[in-house]
Amino acid sequence: MIRNLSEESITLLDKPLNAIDYVVFDFETTGINPELGDRIIEIGAVKIKANFRISKSKFHRLIKTNAIASKSSFDVHGISEDELLKGCDECVAIYDFIDFARGCVLVAHNASKDIAFLRHSLKDYLVDNPFEIFVDTLSLSRKLFPLASGHSLDAITERYRFKSVTGFKRHRALYDAEITALFFRFAVKKLFRTQCFSLFELLEFLKRR
């Protein structure tokens, strides 16, 4: 994650955690494997500005797709084909997301899945990946609170009594992005006060065994 970075990303690594803009995001998808044809069908994102301020600026897109959602995926997010007919093309949604998140550090819960889908979509549309650094709040929860009874988004929501004001329910992209943003702000502020001053130090903390 830290090797062969651009000058812009290297500059970000040296910044204090409270001087960085973050975009906390979530994808809902038709399945779990983009290499086997699964696609993104919903993007939700929340921006956290300097001094860990959650911005009123939010991002939400439903995406049309020819891929059929697996029953297990539909049972989770419940997004119907009729809803997706009102969505936009994936290419447009991805470009809009890039514009929204450009210059920010990406944050997601269990980020490897969402990052895999993002990279696959960027490759499909021949777009250079502008996001070289990301933070996984699942790893953050496990490292910072090792004795907690669970680290899923459901467990975190219940433990800290986080509430979303998006109007969506759990397992919808904007809801999950907002809950993740609330946890990330809570956790990273704690780390900033006690252990990690810069983004580099945060990433090193997450790498420790």
pLDDT tens by residue, 93-106: 999 999 999 999 99
Each residue's pLDDT tens digit, 44-96: 999 999 999 999 989 999 999 877 777 888 878 888 888 888 899 999 999 99
Global confidence as pTM = 0.94
> How far is CA 29 from each of CA 43, 102, 106, rounded to the nearest angstrom?
9, 22, 18
- The arithmetic mean of pLDDT across residues 112-120, rounded, is 96
Q: Which residue, among 197, 7, 25, 204, has the nearest Cα to 105 in the 3D structure?
A: 25
109 among known catalytic residues: no
- pLDDT value at residue 3: 63
Residue 140 pLDDT greater than 80, yes or no: yes
Average pLDDT over residues 34-50: 95
Q: d(Cα 204, Cα 2) in Å, to the nearest integer?
A: 10
What pLDDT band is residue 110 in, cutting at 50, 70 and 90? very high
In a domain, 48, yes or no: yes
Domain contains 64 = yes
Confidence band of 117 (pLDDT split at 50, 70, 90)? very high
Q: Is 22 domain-assigned?
A: yes
CATH number at residue 167: 3.30.420.10
Q: Is residue 176 part of a domain?
A: yes
Residue 209 lies in a domain: no
Is residue 190 included in any domain, yes or no? yes
Residue 208: inside a domain, yes or no?
no
Can you give the residue range of the structural domain that contains 107?
Answer: 7-203
**33 CB-near residues (< 8 Å, 6+ apart):** none
Count of structural domains, the chain: 1
In the chain, what percentage of residues exceed pLDDT 90?
A: 80
Residue 2 placed within a domain: no
Question: Of 77, 109, 151, 171, which one is the catalytic site residue?
Answer: 171
